Amino acid sequence: MSAIQSKSAFLYRHVRRALRSGQYVPGQRIDPATLAEEFRTSATPVRFALYRLVGEGLIADHARSGLYVPLLTEVALRDLYDWMQRLLLMACDIGIESTTTADPKIDSAGDDVAALTWQLFDSIARATDHRPLHQAVKQANDRLAPIRHAGRVDNASEEISALIRHWQESDIGSLRAGLRAYHERRKQLVPQIVASLGDNSDFMH
């Protein structure tokens, strides 16, 4: 692997983790020059990394105005919630296929509800031992992560705690019902979530 490829891979992982952790918010501009200066590298590996994330739908390319964390429309966000719901219910239907991957434990993340949500949904998909399904959940999880951090939902902590409890107790019936209620509530809240994200968007200003 060349030096540029190695640096690009490192930057790709760094920005992906930053998006997942809420360091970047929906609608925020990501400046390649700033990243290049921060990591003391040329623009080439930075752009390779960022356009790899563009290809995965985690960054949006607005041509002359630059690269941004996607600021989804109401229709797109509702579709993404619906897609995640369908994937997780499918995972519940498939069930846990391998004792080596079926680890119901969720790492403690303190009060970080967004991180707990990512871990839970990933654990449910991973436990099926169905790689394409797990990959699809990871992609949807990563696209939703910045929104979960920035678009606060009342009582989200109680919701995710109940889902984690159902998962840890292997109560798949209650888990299915909880996952459906969780996503249906968010689909109803889409207008408020999108409006709140737009208020803090670089792209909207």
- Whole-number pLDDT of residue 100: 41
- Whole-number pLDDT of residue 97: 55
- Whole-number pLDDT of residue 198: 72
CATH number of 3-68: 1.10.10.10
- Whole-number pLDDT of residue 155: 87
Q: Concatenate the DSSP letters of all residues of 82-142 into one string.
A: HHHHHHHHHHHHH----TTT--------TT-HHHHHHHHHHHHHHTTT-HHHHHHHHHHHH
- Whole-number pLDDT of residue 98: 45
- Strands 29-30 and 67-68 come out as antiparallel
- Residue 189 is encoded by which pair of tokens? 């809240």
- Whole-number pLDDT of residue 101: 43
Task: State which residues of the chain have pLDDT below 50.
Answer: 98-102, 109
The CATH classification of domain 74-196, taken from the options 1.10.3210, 1.10.3470, 2.40.50, 1.20.120: 1.20.120
Domain coordinates of the chain in residue numbers? Answer: 3-68, 74-196
Q: Is-contact 74 33, C-beta < 8 A?
A: no
- Whole-number pLDDT of residue 4: 75
Condensed to tens digits (0 to 9), the pLDDT of residues 68-101 reads 999 899 999 999 999 999 999 999 998 765 444 4
- Whole-number pLDDT of residue 200: 61
DSSP 3-state of 68:
strand
